[in-house]
Amino acid sequence: MKETAVVHYDDIALKGANRGLFEQILVRNIAHKIQRGKLPLFVEKRWGRITITNNTGSLWVEEYGNILKEILAHTPGIAVFGVGVMVDPDRKEIEKGVIKVVESFSEHFETFRITTTRVDKTYPSTSQEIDRDLGALVLQRFGDTKRVKLKNPGVTIRVEILKKTAYVYIKEAGISGLPVGSSGRAVALLSGGFDSPVAAYMCATRGVEPLLMHFHAYPQTSRAAIEKVEEIAGVLGTVCGQLTLVLVPLLDAQKEIVLTAPEKLRVVLYRRLMMRVAEEWGRQHDAKAIITGESVGQVASQTLENIAAVENAVATLPVLRPLSGMHKREIINRACEIGTHDISLLPYDDTCTVFMPKRPETKARIRDVLEAEKRYDSGKLVAHMLETLEVHKL
């Protein structure tokens, strides 16, 4: 018997010929997080699933099981996983495995069900028979604290019987989706607000590696405002694994715009510069898109007219707005689940409210915006930002 975690994936399986590559990326992402967590564990692909074991054979579940569960629960691409044991596929060994798993996780549940799958169909009992027998065994050993509940059990103990091995573990749900990196990269424009972290997260669960880019107005705004964004990036890092955060100083450009352009258009003009920097830097770093947290009509400035005026600044990369049709409450709920909500709530100054116009334009016309941009040298401002930005690997 060997302590083991088992990982199953869903969307990946749909990818046909690409399957091998997707599995490889998922293995790499899990291995990376395990390494960062300094767990002495080993990840490998085995018979259509991924297993995580300890090469030395020493016991580890007690010590690292919970840390590993946290990692697996937050890794896109994992549909179902569990921490348990690997045994020989014979009945006595499987029974020992079930007892070991129940003992290890005993304080976490009262009700349970057993769900067996036989990958090896020549195995000499049906899945239902095995479920029933193993259920009876658990009751016999732990009947004073545990009971069977087939619908909505506290835990499902999963037994998988393959030709040469069997796994027994407590089933947990992952966040599904695609492994980060399998769809390529995109620059994700990250403010300190609620929306953009959710947008970056949603794209990450569709396999996009977000290159986070934040524009700050330091020292006009505080150092704490940047630290807040770094903290948000840290939370996204627990999902994405290794992450890039680019900090871009916008203040000089903002000053230039304030001096030369119509007050009403300031915010749209800042955004257009952000888009240009994102596009330029993104192309140099192999990004295929730009992600923003805009949602149509959420605030007076996010009208279709303004969205068009901002997007007009981007020459080639597509702009993804995963929140465009979402209700604010839905976005806030997602932010709570992801763990960024309470950080976004911190009341530090927003870059775009520096030199905020009294009445920002709500229906910017591209013609006016282009006219305003003639009064300063956007190319020079973008070049200056590209020269002075800082890249952090998290």
Q: Supply the minimum distance, in Å, between the C-beta of residue 328 and ligand ATP.
A: 8
Per CB under 5 A, the list member of 65, 154, 193, 339 interacting with Mg ion is 193
Q: Supply the minimum distance, in Å, between the C-beta of residue 148 and Mg ion.
A: 51
In the bound state with Mg ion, the residue whose beta carbon lies nearer, of 29 and 191, is: 191
* 116 secondary structure, DSSP code: E
In the bound state with Mg ion, the residue whose beta carbon lies nearer, of 61 and 202, is: 202
Length of the chain: 394
Instruction: Choose the one of Mg ion, ligand ATP, none that binds residue 361, judging by a C-beta under 5 to 8 angstroms depending on kind.
Output: none
Closest CA to 236 of 348, 320, 327, 343: 343
Residues 163-192 touching Mg ion, rule: CB under 5 A, are: 191
Residue type at position 248:
V
Q: Supply the minimum distance, in Å, between the C-beta of residue 271 and ligand ATP.
A: 6
Q: Residue 212's beta-bridge partner residues?
A: 188, 245
The single residue listed with the structure tokens 């690409």 is 18
Instruction: Choose the one of Mg ion, ligand ATP, none that binds residue 301, judging by a C-beta under 5 to 8 angstroms depending on kind.
Output: ligand ATP
In the bound state with ligand ATP, the residue whose beta carbon lies nearer, of 83 and 190, is: 190
Give the dihedral sign, CA 354/275/246/197: positive
Query: Total residues at the site for Mg ion (CB under 5 A)?
Result: 2
Cis omega before residue 40 (within 30°)?
Answer: no
Three-state secondary structure call for residue 153: coil
Angle between helical axes of 127-142 and 91-104 (0-180°, round to 10)? 50
For ligand ATP, the nearest residue by Cβ is 193
- For residue 364, what are the contacts with CB-CB under 8 A and spacing of at least 6? 265, 268, 305, 306, 309
Instruction: Choose the one of Mg ion, ligand ATP, none that binds residue 292, judging by a C-beta under 5 to 8 angstroms depending on kind.
Output: ligand ATP
For 208-240, what is the HEC assignment?
EEEEEEEEECCCCCCHHHHHHHHHHHHHHHHHH
Q: Supply the minimum distance, in Å, between the C-beta of residue 205 and ligand ATP.
A: 17
In the bound state with ligand ATP, the residue whose beta carbon lies nearer, of 53 and 298, is: 298
In the bound state with ligand ATP, the residue whose beta carbon lies nearer, of 1 and 299, is: 299
> Are 362 and 256 a contacting pair, CB within 8 Å?
no
Q: Supply the minimum distance, in Å, between the C-beta of residue 309 and ligand ATP.
A: 13
Instruction: Choose the one of Mg ion, ligand ATP, none that binds residue 169, judging by a C-beta under 5 to 8 angstroms depending on kind.
Output: none
Q: Which residues bind ligand ATP (CB under 6 A)?
A: 189-191, 193-196, 213-215, 274, 292-294, 298-299, 301-302, 351-352
Q: Supply the minimum distance, in Å, between the C-beta of residue 214 and Mg ion.
A: 11
d(CA 34, CA 28): 10
Q: Supply the minimum distance, in Å, between the C-beta of residue 321 and ligand ATP.
A: 9
Q: How many CA atoms, within 13 angstroms, populate the side-chain half-sphere of residue 218?
A: 16
* Residue numbers at the binding site for Mg ion (CB under 5 A): 191, 193
